[in-house]
Amino acid sequence: MEILPQSFYLREPCALAQDILGTVFHYGEKQAMIVETEAYCKDDPGSHTYGGRTPRNEIMFGPGGYLYLYLIYGIHILMNITADKAGIPGAVLIRAVKPLNFKGRTNGPGLLTKAMGITMDDYGKSLFSNEIHISPRIMNIDEDTIVRTSRIGIYSGKKRLQRYYLKNCPFISRK
DNA sequence: GCCTCGATTGACT
DNA sequence: GTCAATCGAGGCA
């Protein structure tokens, strides 16, 4: 099984958010294709890193290729993949995936973590192990296949068009 | 220590 | 369309 190298993640979140669409996320025995993402950058008012380094967002200040997980509304866990080089905070939020070898609802950021069994215990884990990693695209994607819109659920910095998803994909969040 | 509210979801009118 | 659930981070004292 081919694993994407760390160099893939050492780029700005906006670029990574697009290139990671259509790739396959492996978590244990489960596999799912990433179909919807959002980019969170340095100096982004909507990012958790805006306002400085804290224990929670610590991992985003490290190099790309690690999991940034956190609990929202005391109920849901959202999964991010850290991006860019060490010292530059950035991450890509995984909003929706398409299940490849399991069943479950994954059309939302809180749902996909639940469906795949991801917990806070996975905070900070790398994407370079046999257990957890991402493998290259399994489908052909060109510029026209990627839809770019404003982000969902946040209001500061909303004018930034940093939400990306695959056109005509039924597994997208948001009804 | 106390208070507020969020990168959400699902149940309900 | 509206709204509660449920907990920890972060701001303030």
Please state, in angstroms and rounded to a whole number, the distance separating the CA atoms of residues A140 and A152.
26
Task: Work out the mean pLDDT of chain A and round it to a whole number.
Answer: 92
pLDDT single digits (tens) A161-171: 789 999 999 98
Assess contact for A97 and A35: CB atoms under 8 A. Answer: yes
Instruction: Determine whether the distance from the CB of A99 to the nearest atom of strand B is below 7 Å.
Output: no
pLDDT single digits (tens) A65-108: 999 999 999 999 999 999 999 999 999 999 999 999 999 999 99
The long-range contacts involving A57-64, CB below 8 angstroms and separated by at least 24 positions, are A57/A89, A59/A123, A59/A124, A60/A89, A60/A90, A60/A91, A61/A86, A61/A87, A61/A88, A61/A89, A62/A86, A63/A6, A63/A9, A63/A10, A64/A6, A64/A8, A64/A9, A64/A10, A64/A11, A64/A16, A64/A90
Tell me the nt nearest to A105, Cα to C1': B9
Judge if pTM exceeds 0.85: yes
CA of A73 to C1' of B6 (A): 6
CA of A110 to C1' of B13 (A): 25
- Bases of chain B with protein Cβ within 7 A: 6-10
Tell me the nt nearest to A57, Cα to C1': C9
Residue A53's pLDDT band (cuts 50, 70, 90): confident
CA of A78 to C1' of B3 (A): 24
Assess contact for A164 and A151: CB atoms under 8 A. Answer: no
CA of A98 to C1' of B6 (A): 26
CA of A114 to C1' of B3 (A): 30
